[in-house]
Amino acid sequence: MAVTVDKQELEKTSGNGAHSDVVVAVRGLTKVFKDFWGRSKARAVNDVDFEVYRGEVFGLLGPNGSGKSTTIKMLLGLLYPTKGHIEVFGHSPRHVATKSRIGYLPEESYLYRYLDSRETLDFFGNLFRLSPEDRKERITQLLEMVGLAQTQTRVVGEFSKGMQRRIGLAQALINDPDLVILDEPTAGLDPIGCREIKDLIVSLARRGKTVILSSHLLADVEDVCDRVVVYFGGRIHAMGTLKELLATPDSIRMTMPALPKETLERVLEIIRRDVADDRIHIDTPEQSLESYFLDIVEKARGEALETSGALSGGTVAPYLRGESEQERKQRVLERLTHTGEKTAEEEKAPSEKHEVKEEVLNKLMEQERKAAERPLESGTKDKEKEEKEAQREKVDLSKANEKLSSLTKRERED
Amino acid sequence: MQQILAIARLTFRAAYRFKLVLILSLVLLGGVVLLPLVLEGDGTAQGFAQIVITYTLSITAALLAISTLWLACGTLAGDVEYGTIQTITVKPVSRWRVWLGKWLGVMILNAVLLGLAGAFTFGAMKWRATKLPPEQRQVLDNEVLVSRASAKPPVPELDKAVDQLTKQRLEESSAADLNEELLRQQIRIQLEAQIQTVPPKYSRRWMIDLGAAADDVRDQPLFLRVKFQTSRSMMETLESIIYDTAWRVGPVDSPSTWRTNRSLTANAFHEIRIPAGMLDNEGKLRVEVGNPNDEALMFPLDNGIEVLYREASFGVNFIRGLLIIYFWIGLLAAVGLAAASFLSFPVAAFCSVTILILGMSTGLMSRVVSEGTVLGVNHETGEAGSSFIDWFAVPFFKAVLEVVGFAKGFSPIDALSTGTSIPWSEVGLAFFRLIMVMSGFAAALGMIIFTRRELATAQLSR
């Protein structure tokens, strides 16, 4: 299975040599905003270093004005660093060709107000030199994905902020980018939209895409990021995987069905032998507001209530999910014929040979498709996993908040 | 190309969706069709040309010039201001392509509008021509709604003679303080006057070479366009004084030589129709004028006498004229975009309008440059004023004139209203100078600045 994918990836990253896994490298990055006379006005980013690897979801975390957006704009070549060095796919951020591998959702919807959603996507598709057929196919899939298939003829200027975000997201993905940069992706979105974006991010990462997202909403970051940096005042104050950052090794938490009182007493009895009473904490896990809200909407959707706003999209656009139908066929075919490399003749495989295996092929493909789709459909996640997440959210979120506010405090004292 | 076209289409679409196209079309049609209807001509072919061609085309050009500057500044500066440019430049499209796409979009819009206005002007002209009295219609068909090229007699080479005479005069003269430059000027004026002047009771002869066109126009009637001055007419400019003239046209020993006597006013252009077949074998036209008056007639060297001949249909000429107007607008679009490449919309619009006004006030500037001061010369004392402004204004105006002079001289509207042919070579030259060189320069400047510029703003919390 990995044969074709790897080959493609290899081709794309060729020229990076040893750093084929480093997508973004930032060293000593500093940005000083100057006024008209060239006097320093603000040091927005101050001596920042980090690397982002292929396939990871990397979060830039920090309060407003801490330098997240400035960093992102420098990664995209919209701002130029005062000092330091940036490499994106081994090139300068100003390298034009590299940009065909990047998708960017700006923090505000910078869209043409007089275009409708289809025209907007068509315009950006043209900037990627996509063929008319590709554009048409992808636009339809994207509009379906972001839930705007019903509002194709309304101009973007009439859209609500959330709907504009959705179009913004669609334009960021039209080139099937290898690196997706999302600046405050969930700002202005309803909880369903947030959930869908998070699902999308996870599914992109699963396909080996790299995602960089900035946010001050901790829940967003925590749900999807593999690694985060925490910004404050233009500097990085913490960096690492969420596990490293959030683990509190000196305490544990157990979750189980409610116990009879006697049993619980007995358990506590045992625990009290080792731990003082005031350090034990017992409660009933609550459902998070997010999952509660999603439940209600899910029910309403089951009753098919009408809405004039954005519909929930749900499934990720097929082309973003992976290969096209044909590629998938090719891949299965390859596995069946056990050839690592295909020659030109083999590509134009004789039709009889093809037909013989068509049936088997389709069955295999069906299986594969199911396997690929299952984890992506929102709302059909494992109950178990969801519960676990909901709990972790509660505890870890407060920890992270504490951490951040202590940082803020320290900085102020400085 | 796909990218450039996408941006061009977007630019056009923006103008269309914001109803700019609709409003401009209406204003143009109002200016081109309705207003001329309100203005009554004086019933002559010249008055007709004045209103229908000069007036409407000038209005069209002025409206398009202003809307182009506005749109060119707005489309780029607006994108930067609203941040939409951020979504574009993170795509794999070079910034020069963005710039070029914008220019192309503005030019597509202008092509549509100019085409529209041109078609209506042409239609209105044909229609109004039917309302003229018959004899004026004939004049119109012969002199205005035509495309006539002109041939002039060769301008005599005077430099050598001037040199020689100056030298001679200096040698003869004993005065040590003789200003050589002044002397040279005076000698030149004298010589020119000698050539231009037809003394009383004398006649004067020109040989006008029609060159390559001779064979095509041999069987057509030609038109002699003449203008002369006299010492009396130059002093009393308000009064038109009439002089008798006798003309003889055609090969000297041919029996078909054509003669006519005309009473003509001084200081004005006159056209004399010459029957076909007057060219000699070498394609030259021999023209002789007799002066029976008691005053000398003076035919200016530059426009005293020329032969006009049909070169193409008026329709073709009209299109060539519109093309040159189009090139002018292309230059303005490039200037507007170049300004918007580094300035915000209001500042860019202000700057480019200033440039437009500066370009149009060359008369004032050339006076300042020739007098060497902005304060002007007191013509009674001959004393020139002086001001510290001169220190930079004079060289600045000089530079502006150099630049404008490179582009000026293309005046398609004048040519169209006098039925003068605009040769393809001039259209080509206009394209080269206005689009390739000047717009190219503005574009290069704009693209370089735009490419180097940071397109996102500092969004800092306060």
In chain B, residues with a C-beta closer than 8 Å to the C-beta of A114 are: 13-14, 17-18
Average pLDDT (A245-260) is: 78
Beta strands A210-215 and A57-61, pairing class:
parallel
Say if residue B74 is in the same domain as residue B218.
Answer: no
> Which amino acid would we find at residue B152?
K
In chain A, residues with a C-beta closer than 8 Å to the C-beta of B6 are: 123, 126-127
Q: Which phi and psi angles does B343 have, rounded to 5°?
A: -120, 160
Lowest-confidence range among A315-329, B65-79, B219-233? Answer: A315-329
| Dihedral over alpha carbons A135, A139, A140, A141 (to 10 degrees) | 110
pLDDT of residue A353: 42
pLDDT of residue A63: 82
A to B CB pairs, distance under 8 Å: 89
The nearest alpha carbon in chain A to B10 belongs to A123
> Distance, in angstroms, between B104 CA and closest chain A CA?
16
10 Å Cβ neighbour count for A138? 25
| Dihedral over alpha carbons A122, A125, A130, A133 (to 10 degrees) | -30
Average pLDDT (A129-143) is: 92
Name the residue among B167, B165, B147, B168 with its Cα closest to residue B223.
B147
Quick check: A394 pLDDT over 50?
A: no
Average pLDDT (A56-64) is: 88
Q: Indicate whether B124 belongs to any domain.
A: yes
Q: CB-CB: which of B6, B84, B92 is closest to A100?
A: B92
Three-state SS for B343?
coil
| Dihedral over alpha carbons A106, A112, A117, A119 (to 10 degrees) | -120
Quick check: A400 pLDDT over 70?
A: no
Lowest-confidence range among A28-42, A356-370, B347-361, B362-376? Answer: A356-370
Last residue of a domain, one of B279, B312, B345: B312
Last residue of a domain, one of B312, B345, B380: B312
10 Å Cβ neighbour count for A72? 23
Are the beta carbons of A127 and B91 separated by less than 8 Å? yes
| Dihedral over alpha carbons A338, A340, A342, A343 (to 10 degrees) | -110
Residues 70-89, chain B, touching A (beta carbon < 8 A): 82-89
Overall domain count for chain B: 2
What is the spatial order of strands in the sheet that A22-34 belongs to? A40-53, A22-34, A83-88
User: Is B370 an interface residue toward A (CB < 8 Å)?
Assistant: no
**CA dist., res. B461 & res. B459, Å (int):** 7
Computed over its alpha carbons, how large is the radius of gyration of chain A?
A: 24
User: Is B5 an interface residue toward A (CB < 8 Å)?
Assistant: yes
pLDDT of residue B386: 64
pLDDT of residue B384: 60
According to DSSP, the residues that pair with B273 across neighbouring strands are B223
**CA dist., res. B50 & res. B54, Å (int):** 5
Would residue A84 be called left, alpha or beta, if left means φ above 0 and alpha means ψ between -120 and 50 degrees? left
Give chain A's contact residues with B (Cβ, < 8 Å): 33, 41-42, 44, 64-65, 69-70, 73, 76-80, 96-100, 102, 104, 106, 108, 110-112, 114-115, 119, 123-124, 126-129, 155, 168, 171, 175
Which residues contact residue A78 at a Cβ distance below 8 angstroms, ignoring those fewer than 6 apart? B86, B89, B90, B454, B455, B456
Say if residue B339 is in the same domain as residue B398.
Answer: yes
Quick check: A19 pLDDT over 50?
A: no
Are the beta carbons of B460 and A65 separated by less than 8 Å? yes
**CA dist., res. B425 & res. B428, Å (int):** 5
**CA dist., res. A73 & res. B321, Å (int):** 48
Helix (H) / strand (E) element for A319: namely helix A318-321
In chain A, residues with a C-beta closer than 8 Å to the C-beta of B460 are: 33, 42, 44, 65
Say if residue B304 is in the same domain as residue B180.
Answer: yes
pLDDT of residue B408: 66
List, for residues B151-205, the tens digit of each pLDDT value: 888 877 888 888 888 888 777 776 666 677 788 888 888 888 888 888 888 888 8
Q: Hey, what are B30's tokens?
A: 């109002």
C-alpha B190 chain-centroid distance: 30
**CA dist., res. A78 & res. A68, Å (int):** 14
pLDDT of residue A368: 57
Q: What is the largest CA-CA distance in chain B?
A: 97
Q: Angle at Cα A147 formed by Cα A143 and Cα A150, nearest 5°?
A: 75
> Which amino acid would we find at residue B127?
W
Say if residue B272 is in the same domain as residue B390.
Answer: no
List, for residues A102-115, the tens digit of each pLDDT value: 999 998 888 998 89
Say if residue B164 is in the same domain as residue B287.
Answer: yes
The nearest alpha carbon in chain A to B91 belongs to A99
Q: Hey, what are A218's tokens?
A: 């901790």
List, for residues A275-334, the tens digit of each pLDDT value: 888 888 887 777 776 677 677 777 766 665 555 566 555 577 777 776 555 555 555 555
Average pLDDT (A396-401) is: 51
pLDDT of residue B397: 79
Are the beta carbons of B454 and A80 separated by less than 8 Å? yes
In chain A, residues with a C-beta closer than 8 Å to the C-beta of B17 are: 114-115, 155
Say if residue B300 is in the same domain as residue B345.
Answer: no
User: Is B6 an interface residue toward A (CB < 8 Å)?
Assistant: yes
Q: Which long-range contacts (CB under 8 A, 24 or more apart) does A129-133 make?
A: A129/B2, A129/B3, A129/B92, A130/A174, A130/A175
Are the beta carbons of B10 and A127 separated by less than 8 Å? no
In chain A, residues with a C-beta closer than 8 Å to the C-beta of B2 are: 126, 129
Q: Following DSSP, what letter does each residue of A175-214 receive, concatenated? A: T--SEEEEESTTTT--HHHHHHHHHHHHHHHHTT-EEEEE
Q: Following DSSP, what letter does each residue of A339-356 receive, concatenated? A: -SS--HHHHT--HHHHHH
Give chain B's mean pLDDT. Answer: 83
Q: Indicate whether B199 belongs to any domain.
A: yes
> Distance, in angstroms, between A312 CA and closest chain B CA?
25
pLDDT of residue A59: 92
Say if residue B345 is in the same domain as residue B277.
Answer: no
Q: Following DSSP, what letter does each residue of A39-64 receive, concatenated? A: -EEEEEEEEEEEEEETT-EEEEE-ST
Name the residue among A228, A377, A151, A110 with its Cα closest to residue B457.
A110
The nearest alpha carbon in chain B to A71 belongs to B458
**CA dist., res. A143 & res. B131, Å (int):** 60
**CA dist., res. A125 & res. A175, Å (int):** 7
Which residues contact residue B457 at a Cβ distance below 8 angstroms, ignoring those fewer than 6 apart? none
pLDDT of residue A282: 80
Three-state SS for B283?
coil
> Distance, in angstroms, between B16 CA and closest chain A CA?
10
Say if residue B299 is in the same domain as residue B353.
Answer: no
**Environment class of A223 (CB within 10 Å of its CB; exposed 0-12, middle 13-18, buried 19+):** buried
Are the beta carbons of A100 and B88 separated by less than 8 Å? no
In chain A, CATH 3.40.50.300 covers 2-249
Query: B379 lies in which domain range?
Result: 2-144+317-452
Choose the most confident range, by mean pLDDT, from A180-184, A222-226, B23-27, B356-360.
A180-184
pLDDT of residue A72: 93
User: Is B459 an interface residue toward A (CB < 8 Å)?
Assistant: yes
**CA dist., res. A46 & res. A32, Å (int):** 8
List, for residues A65-92, the tens digit of each pLDDT value: 888 889 999 999 999 999 999 999 999 9
pLDDT above 90 coverage of chain B, percent: 20
> Hunting for tokens 């430049």 — which residue is that?
B89
Which residues contact residue B189 at a Cβ distance below 8 angstroms, ignoring those fewer than 6 apart? none
In chain A, residues with a C-beta closer than 8 Å to the C-beta of B3 are: 126-127, 129
Quick check: A239 pLDDT over 60?
A: yes
Q: Indicate whether B15 belongs to any domain.
A: yes
Q: Indicate whether B324 belongs to any domain.
A: yes
Q: Angle at Cα A26 formed by Cα A167 and Cα A96, nearest 5°?
A: 50
**Entry field: residues in chain B:** 462
- Kindly indicate whether the domain formed by A2-249 is annotated with CATH number 3.40.50.300: yes
The ipTM is 0.75
User: Is B93 an interface residue toward A (CB < 8 Å)?
Assistant: yes
Q: Indicate whether B457 belongs to any domain.
A: no
Q: CB-CB: which of A102, A110, A119 is closest to B83?
A: A110
Say if residue B35 is in the same domain as residue B177.
Answer: no
List, for residues A334-385, the tens digit of each pLDDT value: 554 444 444 444 444 444 444 445 555 566 566 656 555 544 444 444 455 5
Last residue of a domain, one of B312, B333, B362: B312
Q: Indicate whether B462 belongs to any domain.
A: no
**Entry field: residues in chain A:** 414
Are the beta carbons of A64 and B461 separated by less than 8 Å? yes
Are the beta carbons of A127 and B93 separated by less than 8 Å? yes
Name the residue among B357, B351, B317, B313 with its Cα closest to residue B335.
B351
H helix intervals, B203-344: 214-217, 231-235, 314-340
Q: A286-298 burial, b if ≥16 CB within 10 A, otherwise e? A: eebebbeebeebe
List, for residues B431-440, the tens digit of each pLDDT value: 998 899 989 9
Are the beta carbons of B14 and A102 separated by less than 8 Å? no
Say if residue B321 is in the same domain as residue B289.
Answer: no
C-alpha A264 chain-centroid distance: 41
CATH at B245:
2.60.120.380
pLDDT of residue A304: 58
Q: Indicate whether B153 belongs to any domain.
A: no
Are the beta carbons of B90 and A128 separated by less than 8 Å? no
Are the beta carbons of A78 and B90 separated by less than 8 Å? yes
Say if residue B213 is in the same domain as residue B267.
Answer: yes
In chain B, residues with a C-beta closer than 8 Å to the C-beta of A212 are: none
pLDDT of residue B374: 66
Quick check: A6 pLDDT over 50?
A: no
> Distance, in angstroms, between B22 CA and closest chain A CA?
15
In chain B, residues with a C-beta closer than 8 Å to the C-beta of A115 are: 10, 13, 17
Are the beta carbons of A106 and B89 separated by less than 8 Å? no
Name the residue among A211, A224, A215, A238 with its Cα closest to residue A393.
A224
Question: Higher pLDDT residue, A116 or B457?
Answer: A116
> Distance, in angstroms, between B450 CA and closest chain A CA?
12
Q: Indicate whether B151 belongs to any domain.
A: no
With cut-offs at 50, 70 and 90, classify the pLDDT of residue B282: confident
Say if residue B14 is in the same domain as residue B139.
Answer: yes
Give the torsion sign (CA, A220, A223, A224, A229). positive
